[in-house]
Every structure is written in C-alpha cells, then in structure tokens.
Structure 1
Amino acid sequence: MQTVKIGNTNWQTSNIALGIMRMGTLSVPQSVAALQAAHEAGINLIDSADIYGNDPELGRGSSEIHFGQALKQSGLSRDDFYIQSKGGLYANAANQITRYDSSKEHLIAAVDGILRRTGIDYLDSFLIHRPDPLMEPEEIAAAFDELQASGKVRHFGVSNFNPQQLELLQSAVSQRLLVDQLQFGLGHTGMVDFGLHTNMTDQGSVDHDGGLLEYCRLHQLTIQTWSPFQYGTFAGTFIGNPQFPELNRELAKLAEKYQVSKNAIAVAWILRHPAHMQVLIGTMTPAHILDSAAGSDVTLTKQEWYDLYLAAGNELP
C-alpha cells in the first residue's frame, strides 16, 4: 500500500481510504470483517460523516455506531487508523435533511455526536460536508478553534467546495484547510475534461468547478475522491455494466496485464494523476476491499491512462 501526504503537512496515510457510509447496514461481525480487511490491505484512513447510516432503531449516524462497536471487537486499536468524519448537515425529527448548518453550535454538537457514537476521544480530521449558502466563516473559525483547543479535532478540511468557497473559508480560519472531498473517477471526469478543452466552445469546455483541480494542486489541498466506480452522481457503477462495453474491455485487458481486478485498475487510474489524490472506496465486502486496494500498487503508463480515459467515452480535442 502506497501513502499520500495530506495537504501541506507531513501527515502520511494510505492513498486508499475506507468510507463507512454503508456500515450502518451491516451486523457488527460484518463490520469487524470489513475493518480487518482494510487493515490487512494497508488502509489506515477511515472516512465517515455524522449522517451516514439511518437504522430504524438507531437513527442517523448508525454507521458510526457500528464502526465504534466493530473497532472494539476487531482486535485493532484506535492508533491503527486515522479517523475522519464530516458534519454540517441538519436532519429533522423524521431524519430528513432539511438544511445545511455551518453554525458554531451545530458543528461543535456534530463533533461531540461523532465522538460519542464512535467511542473515540478525538478525530484526526473533521470536514465541512457541504458548502452552506448561509455560511458565516467567522462562526466556523470559532468552532474550529474550540474543537482544536479542546483536543477533539486535529486537522480540518471540506467536502464539495469550489475554489472561491475555499478562499472565503480559509480567509477566516487559522488552521490550514488540508482536504477537499470531490467526486472523480473514470465515470466522472469533468475536472479533467475542462482542462483539455480550454479555449474551445464544446460541452467539454464548460467549467463546472472553477478550475478546482488546478486550485487544489496550487494550494496543496489533498483531493479525496468519492464514488470512484460510479458514473453520473449516484447513477450506478460502470464496472461490469453493459452500458460501458469499451471501458470494461480496456479495464479487463489491463487487469489481466497487472494481475488485479477491474476495480483495482479504476483505482490506479485515479492514483496515476500527478495531483496525488486519495481514493475513498465504500465497499463493505472484505474481498472487494482487498481487490480494490491492490490498485495502490499499480502504476499505469501514460498511454494506459489515456486509453482508459478514451474508453470511458471521452475524446481528445
């Protein structure tokens, strides 16, 4: 398992992380098996959010409850993992997300809830889950300062923020923002398409993100890529999907060459980008965790990277 430096720090973690959004649907023994498989693969960063899991009895956050129970029963220790979670979404009594909430009060309560559910004393990193149109950067700064001073959070970042939102928040907070979680993969290549279609007027030239990929590289923010095997947003996976025959043929060819799975090749495609991204995988099946993690040790050639990009239905101008 290869490592990646988080932000501009010397904080090194595995370049593949395990997202536990689906852990709330598992039994505790199944959750233990997922954690043990991740540890066996060399994965040492766990990514969560306070809204992950919506068990009828436990409510929202059940994924973190299952994670905390599994960690205690797995034979692994808190120090085996960098544990990261997100907050800033508000759920009503019916467990429906009705607003984004980046107020100081909400963010501090979110972290307290995360620590209680997971049964740990601190988070290695805490991210603002979504940009809040009513965001007041000074309130977030006050929350970050209190959370850091209390020892509850060590590092901070965001998820799904564009460059101007990042600039606005960074102008107020004293901590360096280290992470931006963004969707990226062979089925979601917009950040790359825009750069390739510069000075053109076709669909690929439309900048949906404000030059986000280049911004993160210039400002040393680590991009953590979510839903790496999905096409669209939550439309489904392209792996083994008959809607993507050319892409699956290319994935299979390279999987045979490198003696890994197609999932591992899709991971390796992301990791080949010089932005030094970190891939968040969300599978809870131990075998799939292990076969996806194998992509960490595959270095595609430049031609193979472009072959996959083209096979995914893209073009080079």
Structure 2
Amino acid sequence: MLKALPLNKRGIPASRIALGCMGLGGDWDHEPITAENVKQGHEAVDAALSIGINMFDHADIYTRGKAEKVFGQIFKDRPRLREEIIIQSKCGIKLMEPGDSTNTFDFSGQHILNSVDGILSRLGTEYIDILLLHRPDPLMDPEEVASALHQLKAAGKVRHFGVSNMSAAQIKLLQTYCDEPFIVNQLHMSLAKISWVDAGISVNREPWKDIIFPEGTLEHCRMENIQLQAWGPLAQGLFSGRSLEDQPENIVQTAAMVQQLADEKGTTPEAIVLAWLMTHPAAIQPVIGTVNPKRITACADADKLELSRKEWYDLYVSSRGSKLP
C-alpha cells in the first residue's frame, strides 16, 4: 500500500500524481495563445481530472508564460474549477532574450515579487497554492528571499512554499532564514534518471565520487516531511513507446521489461514506470509532463499497482546497466 503524501499529512488534499503544464501554450515564442492552445488545455485538464489528478504544476517561464495564460482562459471558461484544484508554479529563471548569451537565475526579492504578480495575472487568480523557487541562484541572499516570501504570504498571494532542484544543504540554508516551511522539493527522477538511488547505495564505494546527486537530500526531505516531486518521471517516453533507435542496450532491455510487466499486470507501460517511482517509501509524487490525453489516462493505474521488491530491483538494475555489489 502506498504511503500518504507529505502534502496530505500537511492537510493539502493533493492527488498522488500531478500534471505538469509545460507542454501547454504552443511554441516558446512571444506569439499570443490561440483557440487551439486553449482547446488542448481543456482536453488535458479533462483527462487529468478523469483519473483523479487535482494538482497542476506550472512555471512562469513555461512557453514564456503562455502555459499559464492558457490556464487563465480555462478558469474563465470554468470558474468553479479554481477552487477544486491545486495550482503550483515556479519562479527564478530568466529566459534568454535577443542579445543575451544565456539564461540566468534570479532569487532577488524584487524578481520573486514581480514574478508572482505576473503568475497571478496570467492565471487570473488571486492566489496560488504553492510557489517553488525554480533553480538555485548562486547569488541568492537568503534573508532577501525570506523577506519576499513573507510579503507574499502576508498579502495572501501564496499559501505555501517549496523549492526545485535543490540539495538538502541549500534547503537548510533557506529554512534558517524563512519562517514559512519549505514543503516541496521537485527533482529530476525517473527509471532513466536514477542517480538519486545510486547516491544511496554507493556511499563508501569508489563509484560514489562520480555521482553528482547530493548525498542526504532524499533523507532530509523525508525527515522534514518535505514532498519529493519527480519531474520527467515518464523519462520522455523511453519505456512507453518512444523509438529506441540508437539507445544503449540497458535502456532497450529495460523497456522490454517494462512492457512485460505491463502485460502481466494488465496495465500500461506508463503505469509501470510511475509505479516504480511510487513504490519507493519516500512517497514520491510524479509530475507527468505530457499533455496528450491518451498518455495522461494511460497513467491511471499507477497508484493502484504494487511492485514486488524483486520487480523494483530488476527494473533498477536493468536501467543501471550494471549489477549491484
């Protein structure tokens, strides 16, 4: 039986799976959203709701703000929807514009405040349920961040806060200065992105030095009741129908194993891939990135499946491409 989500333990009635909305809004340009973009959004929302998903994950940069604009139109078309779902968004990345040489990260207080005002305007709502700080900013002043988050909470614009792509040490630094608890950490985790598992089994072994996943991050989140969310949990379809041409043998073999398990359990490869994450006792919440209704509904069985310890390890070792010590 799956463990309750840390979010649920905090009284937030989030679904076991969330829908990531990065695919909404069309291209990453400055063109206005279209009726077709909005139609696609409605279809994705309907598919998500049909399998019990009530949490939707955004970021201010997704399709340069157009993903949130699509959702804003959905709220206009369905005004009761806002109070029936949980909205999470992120800020802190500044996308490259003409004349820039790179994207940059910005956790300055003013940028955070301005970003949230933009998010609320595009969504057409007075508040968001959770705001995540998107990627670590090397120039971050935690006291400045704390002041901005305090202002957002006091104004009723954000109910809860979290982070994305951060280590335990980075979370601890922020939490030292912030009164509000950080309740989410969204990380890249999937059956293809397994460094979060490798980090734990490789302590005091030679391979550990080559693993960049920060040691202790999962453990810290579990101890502090911080919701671990997995972005990219479907591994861009590697194990559920995407072409495997030019993929390494371990990926090909793992895809075959996933399909075999799906056939044996009478479900879909997508459900098996998500169930592998959700079997972990950390109560990981996958944030699926597809907005294709068929692929969304293909995930329906994920929270009903139980993988045995052997099945879990067989998938892990196959993806890893090497036996455990």
TM-score (norm 1): 0.91
Residue equivalent to 1:10: 11
Is 1:49 the counterpart of 2:59? The answer is yes
Residue equivalent to 2:234: 229
Over 3 Å counting, the alpha-carbon distance change for 1:207 and 1:285 in structure 2 is closer
- Deviations 1:38-89, CA, capped at 9 Å, x for gaps: 1111001100000001xxxxxx101100111123335751012100000011
Residue equivalent to 1:272: 279
Q: For 1:239 and 1:90, how far apart are their aligned partners in 2?
A: 33
- Deviations 1:169-191, CA, capped at 9 Å, x for gaps: 00000001100100011101101
Structure 1 position 223, deviation (Å): 0.7
Q: For 1:95 and 1:127, how far apart are their aligned partners in 2?
A: 28
Q: For 2:56 and 2:112, how far apart are their aligned partners in 1?
A: 20
**Structure 2: 5+ residue stretches without partners:** 27-35
Structure 1 stretches of at least 4 aligned residues deviating more than 4 Å after TM superposition: none
Is 1:118 the counterpart of 2:95? The answer is no
Over 3 Å counting, the alpha-carbon distance change for 1:93 and 1:205 in structure 2 is closer
8 Å Cα contact 1:32/1:73 also seen in 2: no
Q: For 1:182 and 1:189, how far apart are their aligned partners in 2?
A: 11
Q: For 1:51 and 1:302, how far apart are their aligned partners in 2?
A: 39
Q: For 1:164 and 1:155, how far apart are their aligned partners in 2?
A: 20
Q: For 1:213 and 1:117, how far apart are their aligned partners in 2?
A: 33
Quick one: percent identity of the two aligned structures? 39
Q: For 1:315 and 1:44, how far apart are their aligned partners in 2?
A: 39
8 Å Cα contact 1:36/1:74 also seen in 2: no
Match of 1:63 among 57, 62, 67: 67
8 Å Cα contact 1:271/1:278 also seen in 2: yes
8 Å Cα contact 1:17/1:46 also seen in 2: yes
Bigger fraction of residues in strand: 1
Over 3 Å counting, the alpha-carbon distance change for 1:106 and 1:86 in structure 2 is same
Residue equivalent to 2:294: 287
Alignment of 1:1-317 (within 5 A): 4-6=5-7, 9-25=10-26, 27-53=37-63, 60-74=64-78, 77-91=81-95, 93-94=97-98, 98-202=103-207, 206=211, 208-230=213-235, 237-240=238-241, 241-242=243-244, 243=247, 244-312=251-319, 313-317=321-325
- Deviations 1:196-219, CA, capped at 9 Å, x for gaps: 122211268735313211121122
Q: For 1:224 and 1:262, how far apart are their aligned partners in 2?
A: 20
8 Å Cα contact 1:193/1:205 also seen in 2: no
Q: For 2:261 and 2:60, how far apart are their aligned partners in 1?
A: 37
Q: For 1:137 and 1:39, how far apart are their aligned partners in 2?
A: 37
8 Å Cα contact 2:190/2:230 also seen in 1: yes
What is the one-letter code of the residue matched to 1:70? I
CA RMSD of aligned residues (A): 2.0
Over 3 Å counting, the alpha-carbon distance change for 1:316 and 1:204 in structure 2 is farther
Structure 1 position 142, deviation (Å): 0.6
Q: For 1:270 and 1:163, how far apart are their aligned partners in 2?
A: 20
What is the one-letter code of the residue matched to 2:293? P
Q: For 2:111 and 2:211, how far apart are their aligned partners in 1?
A: 35
Structure 1 position 256, deviation (Å): 1.3
Structure 1 position 230, deviation (Å): 2.2
Over 3 Å counting, the alpha-carbon distance change for 1:202 and 1:192 in structure 2 is same
TM-score (norm 2): 0.88
8 Å Cα contact 1:123/1:152 also seen in 2: yes
Over 3 Å counting, the alpha-carbon distance change for 1:7 and 1:189 in structure 2 is farther
